[in-house]
Structure formats: C-alpha cells, structure tokens
Structure 1
Amino acid sequence: MSMIRTITYGILALLAMTLLVACSKGNGSREAGGEAGHGPVQMTAWSDRTEVFLEHPELEPGKGATLLIYLTRTADWKPLASSEVHLVITPPAGTPLTVAAKGTKPGLYRAEATFPAKGAYRLTVVIGGSQGEQIELPSLLVGEGHDHGEGEHKETAASDRKEGTPHDRDDHGDHAAETKQGGGKEPAHAEHDDHDEHAGHGGHDSHDDHEGEQAHDETGKAHAHAASGAVGAITLTKEQQWAVAFGVAEPRRMDMASGLTAVGELVPVATAEAVVAAPLAGVVSPTRALPFPGKRVAKGEVIAVIDPPASLGGGMTQLAADHAQAMSRLTLAQAEYDRAKRLVEGKIAARKRLEEAEASLEAARAVATPLETAMKSVQGGSGGRITVRAPVSGTVVEVPAVNGSGVAPGQTLVRIVDTGRLWLRVNLPATDLGKVGRPAAAGTTFTVTGLPGEFHTSGLVSDGTVVDPQTRTLPLVFAVENRSGNLKAGMFARVTIRTGTAKGVLAVPKEALFEDEGRWFAFVQISGITFDRREVQIGTEDQGMIQIVSGLDEHDRLVVKGGYYVKLASQGGATADPHAGHGH
C-alpha cells in the first residue's frame, strides 16, 4: 500500500511541476516596448490617394514605443516614397506632439514616441509637410490594454463572421478594431533603419475588439480600421502586395443591363462546313501531302490526289465513263417524264404511267448528281489520276485519310469548317420564355472561360418554334463573327440575354470574383495585410462588371487586382500572423 501511495504522490508531483513550467513560459518579457504578453496593434486608414497601415506594441505611460507606418499609393498600390512624414499625436489634454518618421525603405517609415499619461491619443499622419495630405487614424490607447469597458461599440471579428455575411457597421460606416493578446515571448527588433520591423510582436492566444474611428483628410473622408490580425484571416504582407500587380476598391452602385443567363455552345455554321470525300475508289497519292488539322485552305485549292486502282478501268477514265452514262440515263428519264406528262394531260394515258416516269427520273437524278459534283471538284491528270479540290474556304478540322492508303467511293478525306463565322446555340428554359419575348441579337453577349473580354452576337438566326419535350428548353441560334479566330467550334459559353435595365445595383469588376465548384467568392480587406474570403451571390453581367446580389455592401474593400495571390495565400493556410513576411 505504501508503494502505491509513493507512486501516486510521484505522479501528482510530476503533474504539478509540468503545470508550473507551462505557466512560467506564458509570462515572457517583451524586448521591443509594450507590456509582456500582448500582440501588436494594427491600424489601417484609407484616403482617396493613400493607404496608411500602422503597427505598434501595447502602449504604456512613460515608456518609449516604436511605430511602423506603411504608406501605399491607391492609384497603383505601390509603396509611397515621401521626403517628409510626421505623426501628430494629440493627448487627451495638453499640447499635440509632432514626431518625425524616418524612412527605412520605400513605403516603410519608423517613428519613436513616448506617451506621458494614460488615455486615448488622437493620431494623424502628415505626408509631405504641413501643407501635405493629412490622414487621421483610430485613437492610440495608452495604458488601457484592450479592455474598453462595456459601454463601447464592438464588432464581430473576421474569424467569427460567417462567409457571405457583410461587415457589421455603425451608422458612420466605421470598421471595428480587432486586437488579440498572448503569452509568447516577444522577439527583439533590430535597430537598423534598413530593416523591415514590427513593433511589439507577441503571442496570439485571444483577441478583443476596439472601436474603429472615422478619419478625415484634406480631400474628404478617410476610412479607418484598427486590428491586430483576426484569427483565421488570410495574410498578404505589404512587401508582397507591392511586389505584384495589386489593387483594392469598394463596390459601386451603377445601372446595369439586366438579363437572363444560360449556357450556350459554339458550333459551325451549317453552310460553312464541308466533308470532302473520295469520288471513286483509288489510292491517296503520296506525291501530294494531305493538309494537316488547323491549316487554312481556300476554295478551289488542291487538297488531295487520288491514283487509280491497280485494276483496269479505274481512275479518271472510269469516273468520266460513269458520269457520261449517268447523264445519258438522266436525259432519257427526263424525256420519258415529259412525254408521259403530255399524254396524261391529254387523257391519252393513265396517270400510273406518269408516276412510273417520275420515279425513274428521280432514280436517274440520284445517280447522276454525286457524279456531277465529283466531276466539278476533281481534275483529271495523266495516268487516270484525280485531283480533289476544296469546295469551300475554311480550316481543316479533321483528316481521317492517310497518304498511301486505299479509299472507297464516298470515304471521307478531310473535313473543312469556315470558322470566320460561327453559330451560338442556346437552350433557353421554357419557364423564362415570358421574360425574353423575341431576343435581340444586339442585346445578347457571352463570355468563354479562358478568353478575356465579352463577346457580342451579330444576328439572330433562329428563335425556335417548338419546345424540346425532353429538356423543356427552346433552342435559340445566334450568329457570331469570328474574324480573329480566337473562338473555336465546340467551346461552351455563358450567355446573357438582355431583358431590361437594373437601376443602382451593387457591382464589382469581374476579375474580383473567383468561382469554386459553382460558388462565387471575393477577398475582402480586413486590415492593411489581412483579408477575408467572402461568398457572394451574383446577378447579371454587363461590360466587365458583375452584379452582387448578396454577400458584400458598398463599404467593403475588396481585392480587384491581384486576387490570385490572396487565393494562393489562402490555399497555403496563411493566417493573420503579424510576424509573417517581415524581416527583423
């Protein structure tokens, strides 16, 4: 029994020591300002010309702190290099303090400041001297940590929002501040000016919310937002943004042409496709190479030469003889039909004779017609060779024959399609017929996956008269000009048939949206370096803009250029780590 007690006490002692060590690790000190155990506070403000992204540690009265300011031009989203950047820090009571920010690299500035007393300090970034641009950021909280009390407005963090739900905002459209605390030890900052630094990094165990404050510059409103990196958000650092083509903008209200969307397929025009067949038996001569798929051929161009078979009586001689015999039979049948018709009209012969003569005429014509066509498309050569020519201009899309192989009469040599003009075949659901009426070609557009831009139809070929009983759709056929040759027969298209105009709808550029298994998403900027993947419902498309039915509001800032890089970051599992992508 004493041995059991000894083992039990030993286990309990070991557990107690483990808990003690774990607790002691959570109280590491910070070497770059701020109270131990808190992560950096991130703030973002936007004006018409500039984005300001600021980071600082937890601020304590009487202690110095490093503030990092990232300036980005909103015209091209590249780093803003200015010869003069100042911070105007206004305490709750007293005289404002002006601090110069020193540039460490293009777009990155560093300022050192000491806050004498506890409270909320107003912060204004001045770019280009006293007469330059002034952008106000959310208040700096000194000695208050992240606890604002129960009376202040709070907003749900990005990690707690459901996809497809717009940001909650107060009546002024302000963004809420997001902060988090942790117990990790803060790494020291390098003191060299040419290093990219973060002020006051810490752990990431929990987060609370700060209220965002609306800021103004000399040109108008500047939206402000404070955050320390929402858990689960996607991170793309300022250096990464500056290195690629990138851009952020708000959705805008506009009038858009409304319409119905359907799936269509590009097909060859019925009269612009020709199958070239062997007019008689023979061998495809190796002396004339058959055209390859994709080659453009002109009407009348030689595309094949057929040598006569080894047996006597073949080749061009046989074709000419067969043609002459068929034409003779056709002439006799036509004469007999004319004679029988006169006799029947004169009531000299029975009507049955006319019917028999008509049947004989049709049979003779059926034999003579293909031979007549063959004689027009071929040209006799020496030794009974037959030269086959293209009946239409176009592109060779299929070559089933092979040089040196034998062919039978009627066997396909090549297939030619004129792709300079295509048809767009659309199956419109019967339930939408009342919304469209007779569709107008001028108001019908389509897009093709993999091809940039929007395409227009040039005419309505057929508006259909009968609904397909199996699919319950009405077939529509539009003409499409394809002089560039970029469109290919067999491609599928997303077709929009215009039905009217939607007034004042929310719209975003098409390149701002990404499709994933039939669902559409956009990347919304939460702070200067963090983004949220938001599901949206889309409506009509017009001139490169897509209507947003739900999922965004007009104050959201979404990535409209360079979203591919944010998507890569999201697939790589990037989170809003303040340390990510920055040098120390």
Structure 2
Amino acid sequence: MRMPPAPFVSLRTCLLPAALLALALAGCDRHGDAAPAAPQAQVHTHATDRTELFVEFDPLVAGEKSTFAVHFTRLADYKPVASGTVDVILSGSDAPSERFRVRAPRAPGIFAPTVLPRATGMRELSLVLTTPGLEARHDLGQVMVHADAAAARDAGPAAGQVEGEIGLLKEQQWNSDFAIEAVQPRALRESVRAPATIRPSADGAAEVVATSAGTVRAAGRFPVLGEAVVRGQTLAMLVPRLGGDTDAASLQAELAAARSQAALAEADAARMQRLHAQQAVSQRRLQEAQAARQVAGAQLQAAQDRASQLGGGGGGIALRAPVGGTLARVPVANGAAVEAGDVLFHIVDRSTLWLHVHVAEADAAKLDAPTGAAFELPGLDAPVEIRAGDNGRLVGVGSMIDPDSRSLPVVFALDDPPARIALGQDVQAQVFTGRTRTGLSVPAEAVIDDGGQRVVYVMRSGESFSRVPVRLGLRDGDRYEVLEGLAAGDRVVGRGAMQVRLAAATPEAMGHGHAH
C-alpha cells in the first residue's frame, strides 16, 4: 500500500485548528487511549478555460480560523499564478455572504487565505482569482460549516490517498514541462499508414556532368558539399583531354598560324580588288584571292574553336549551375580526372521537397480525396505534417498499382521543409484520406508504452493521478484516438507523463511536502 501523499499530512499537521488539536489531546488524556481520528481534509480540484484551482483545507467550524492552501495554475503554460488576490466566498443557506481575501501569494501559485466563518450549515463555496488581465471564478459547490470542533471531528476520518493513485506535488508539476488536457470529442481525420521516401521535386534537382574526358580544375574556390549556389554560377572548369600527340602548345601554335594565314589572305584579296579595279588583273584572279580568304577564315575559326576548349589561358570549359539550390553531392575533387558522362555536381533546390508515399494495394480504395500527409522522422516525437493549401499540396495520386511493390504511388509537395529532413530518407507516413469521424483523443505524448501496454495518466485531484490502460484507434498527426479507457471530461496528463511515471516508480523521491 502506498503512503498517504505529503499534501494531506502537511495540512493536517500544520493547518489543523488549535481547538480541534486540543480536543484530540484531551481525548487521549481522558481515556488513556489512542487519539480520535483526525477530521477529514477537504480537497477540491476545479478548472475553467484559463485557470486550474487545487485547494485543501480542514473542515470549517463556525468561529474557528481555517487556513486554505490554494494553488492556482495558468492553463496556457501550466505555470503558477505569480500575483493577484484571492477571495474565498461562502454564500447561501439563508445567511449573509462572507468574503475572505488574501492580497498576494505566499509563494508563486500558492495563496493562503484565512477563513473565519460565522454562519453554520451547508454553504456554497467559491474562490475568485483576480490578477492583471485575468479574473477567474471557481464555484466548488456546497461545504458544511460545523457548529463546533466535535461535529467536525465526527464528520469522518482524515482523507488518505486512494489505493493505486500516484502523488505529484504542484510545485513539481510547475517546475517541469507539464500540461493537463480535458478529454473531449473532436473530429479526427482518417488516414492510412504507408512507407515513403523524401525526394527532390521534379524540376528541383539537376546534375552537372562532364561533356568530355578531362581534368576538373577550380575556378577560384572549389565548391563544397552543402554550399548554396545560384543559377548560372561557374562551379569549376573542365580541361578536356586532347587526343593523339595534340597538346595545348600545339593548339596555340595552330591558332597563331591560322591567324597569320587569314591576315595574308585578307591582304591579298584586298590587293587583288584594287588591281582588278585598275584592270590590271583578271576577274578569275580576283575570285581566286577571295576564295583563299574564305578558306583562311574558316581555318582560323576552327583553330579558335579548338583553342576555346582551353579557355584561351588554359582554364577549360566552364561548368555552370543549371539551377539554383544546394550542392547535395560533390563526388569529384580539384584536379580529378573524369570521363565523359561522369557526374561532377548534384544540385538540389530544397525550397520544395516531395514525399513519395507507397500506399498498400489493400488501402488504395480508402483514398477518396487526400487532404494531406504526415511523416515521422527518427529521433523526433512530433511528426512533420503536410497540409494541402497551407505548407504543401497534393501533387498526384497514381492510377495503377505498381506490379512489383503492389502499392499505389501518392506524391505530396512540402514547402519550406525543415533543414533536418535528408533527401533520400525513408520514413513512415500517414495519408489523410479526406474522411473524418468524431471520437475521443489524447496527445501522442500523453501515451506511454508501459511494458507493451499503452497507458495514460488521469488527474484525480490536483496532486493525485491514476494509471489508466487505453485502447487506441487511428492517429491524426500528433494525436491518438482513444477507443477504450477514457470518458469525456477526464483530465489527462498531456505533457509530463514520464514525470508521473517516475513518481509512481520512486514515490519516496516525489513528494516531501509543500513549501507553504
């Protein structure tokens, strides 16, 4: 059996009214027997849409002071309310309303108003928190204000922890990544699970290949893997490998000779033109000079074309980026010898990536009008979701089952993908079919695999939790459908489930009383 939680012990020993304690001690003296059972502590947990209240106090006795241990939590971030006033209001039962106020917390999130009731009987109990930008009223229902301490003692024994429940103090909840969520019916997207691969978009990748055998030379700094490049940028130079006995020097000599011959032919043709005008040479001689000029010009052009492969100064053929993006592969180094057709650079535009999903033949008929997809990355708890019309789109759905894999291809585009996504990565994906159904659900991080059994932790009171096995249905993004185990209104630990599990495993380390 688990020990009673520290909060109850702290309240009963520290906040027990003096009159009740005196009665208990007197009873021991009179009867020489064990002290009567302590009165039952009052414990209430209540939530609005913005705040959660957890309050403990000893039974109320008319004319006797009772100090409340009030814990207020902001539900937006599940952190303590650091400032403000708290009013405790007793009303109803044909008696005047009584209000008791404390103007500041004793510690962040913890208020300790002192209540001194006058009227007896069943009273409506409310607590009102007022802090800048927020006012929250928590109506807790009826409480009994007893006529005297004996009546309070006779109301019942002190409250203890229910067998099997797990204690975790509010201070421990506030100091961890913690959140509580009320289970409610909601629309869930139906989906099918399938393997998938991350690839570049159809026009978002390009390869730069060697057009001939040769040597790759840097054009300044040689590109490196992961470097961003722009369309048209010169990545490197390819110096072609020349055939036979031809080398760079002989090409330059041929070019010089061709230039000289072209110049001579041009001058001779001009001279023949002048002489023909003076009728000093025949028409045939002029035509021969003009033909020689054309041949010399063609030879010069051919020599220039051959020499241009070396870039004039030996630089070679410029290798330019056909698309902008990131260098995904650089399989060559500066000075490497390559053959025609070798891949020198692989460029990928990562602004849009494609998710290629392979939906099993048995699930293909469920794809009415896919609205999006989600996929899990190893090492990350939350899946990456593609929402059509938001951060991506449906590229297409195949109309034929692949005969080898017996699967239907479905492709989604993801815009501005996270940098941690690697191209070529195999992932497990969900394709949302376009159908929805209503059901209870919990955050995926609320579900713990406990020895092969899926469990969640349900808050029973502000500092007490139960381990509840659940049967899960479909997964919608970062949520699981719950088919069995929970009911609407149950308050489940959404974040911090492992903290509660640790408290269950090591109760001696998880609750040494409040710092009230």
Of residues 86, 89, 104, the one that matches 2:88 is: 86
Aligned to 1:551: 485
Aligned to 2:125: 124
Work out whether 1:135 is the aligned partner of 2:139.
yes
Aligned to 2:409: 476
Aligned to 1:52: 53
Q: Deviations over 1:83-133 (max 9, x none)?
A: 35225399xx997895735453454232456899xx99656134279x994
Of residues 466, 488, 506, the one that matches 2:401 is: 466
Alignment of 1:251-330 (within 5 A): 251-269=183-201, 272-307=204-239, 312-313=245-246
Determine if contact 2:440/2:488 at 8 Å carries over to the other structure.
Answer: yes
Which protein has the larger Cα radius of gyration, Structure 1 or Structure 2? 2
Please tell me the residue identity of whatever aligns with 1:417.
V
Please tell me the residue identity of whatever aligns with 1:413.
L
Report the CA distance between 1:559 and its aligned residue: 3.6
Report the CA distance between 1:69 and its aligned residue: 1.8
Determine if contact 1:308/1:315 at 8 Å carries over to the other structure.
Answer: no
SS of match in other structure, 2:501: helix
2:365, 2:493 → 1: CA distance? 38
SS of match in other structure, 1:285: strand
Aligned to 1:440: 369
Alignment of 1:145-294 (within 5 A): 179-180=159-160, 207=161, 231=164, 233=166, 235=168, 237-242=169-174, 247-269=179-201, 272-294=204-226
Report the CA distance between 1:480 and its aligned residue: 0.4
1:75, 1:283 → 2: CA distance? 63
* Alpha-carbon spacing, 1:549–1:300, altered in 2? closer, same or farther (3 Å): same
Return 5+ residue gaps in structure 1 as ranges.
1-28, 148-177, 181-206, 209-229, 319-374
Please tell me the residue identity of whatever aligns with 2:413.
V
Report the CA distance between 1:390 and its aligned residue: 2.4
Report the CA distance between 1:424 and its aligned residue: 1.8
Please tell me the residue identity of whatever aligns with 1:434.
A
Aligned to 1:110: 112
Please tell me the residue identity of whatever aligns with 2:206.
A
Report the CA distance between 1:496 and its aligned residue: 2.2
SS of match in other structure, 1:104: coil
1:394, 1:133 → 2: CA distance? 56
Q: Deviations over 1:206-261 (max 9, x none)?
A: x45xxxxxxxxxxxxxxxxxxxxx655251x3344456775433222233443323
* Alpha-carbon spacing, 1:571–1:30, altered in 2? closer, same or farther (3 Å): closer
Determine if contact 1:88/1:126 at 8 Å carries over to the other structure.
Answer: no
* TM-score, scaled to structure 1: 0.56
Q: What's the % identity of the aligned pairs?
A: 24
Please tell me the residue identity of whatever aligns with 1:396.
L
Q: Deviations over 1:124-177 (max 9, x none)?
A: 134279x99452257569325766xxxxxxxxxxxxxxxxxxxxxxxxxxxxxx
Determine if contact 2:189/2:436 at 8 Å carries over to the other structure.
Answer: yes
SS of match in other structure, 2:363: helix
1:252, 1:452 → 2: CA distance? 22
Alignment of 1:412-451 (within 5 A): 412-436=343-367, 440-441=369-370, 443-449=371-377, 450=380
2:249, 2:443 → 1: CA distance? 63
Q: Deviations over 1:429-475 (max 9, x none)?
A: 22223333xx535x232244447763135234451523455x5x413
* Alpha-carbon spacing, 1:74–1:440, altered in 2? closer, same or farther (3 Å): closer
User: Which stretch shifts more, 523-532 or 506-515?
Assistant: 506-515
Aligned to 1:69: 70
Work out whether 1:404 is the aligned partner of 2:335.
yes
Aligned to 1:389: 320
SS of match in other structure, 1:45: strand
1:139, 1:73 → 2: CA distance? 25
User: Which stretch shifts more, 53-62 or 75-84?
Assistant: 53-62
How many residues align structurally?
407
1:64, 1:308 → 2: CA distance? 98
1:408, 1:424 → 2: CA distance? 34
* Alpha-carbon spacing, 1:317–1:62, altered in 2? closer, same or farther (3 Å): farther
SS of match in other structure, 2:362: helix
2:312, 2:471 → 1: CA distance? 67
Aligned to 2:464: 530
Return 5+ residue gaps in structure 2 as ranges.
1-11, 25-34, 145-150, 252-305
Q: Deviations over 1:504-536 (max 9, x none)?
A: 322445665567899765443221133345454
SS of match in other structure, 1:558: strand
* Alpha-carbon spacing, 1:400–1:74, altered in 2? closer, same or farther (3 Å): closer
User: Which stretch shifts more, 246-255 or 425-434?
Assistant: 246-255
1:317, 1:121 → 2: CA distance? 113
Please tell me the residue identity of whatever aligns with 2:140.
E
Report the CA distance between 1:583 and its aligned residue: 1.8
Q: Deviations over 1:278-303 (max 9, x none)?
A: 33343332453332222232333211
Of residues 424, 431, 436, the one that matches 1:501 is: 436
Determine if contact 2:386/2:414 at 8 Å carries over to the other structure.
Answer: no
1:57, 1:279 → 2: CA distance? 89
Q: Deviations over 1:8-54 (max 9, x none)?
A: xxxxxxxxxxxxxxxxxxxxx95653677879664323345543212
SS of match in other structure, 1:496: strand
2:506, 2:124 → 1: CA distance? 30
Q: Name the Cα RMSD after superposition.
A: 4.8
Q: Deviations over 1:179-203 (max 9, x none)?
A: 42xxxxxxxxxxxxxxxxxxxxxxx
* TM-score, scaled to structure 2: 0.62
* Alpha-carbon spacing, 1:570–1:276, altered in 2? closer, same or farther (3 Å): same
Report the CA distance between 1:556 and its aligned residue: 0.5
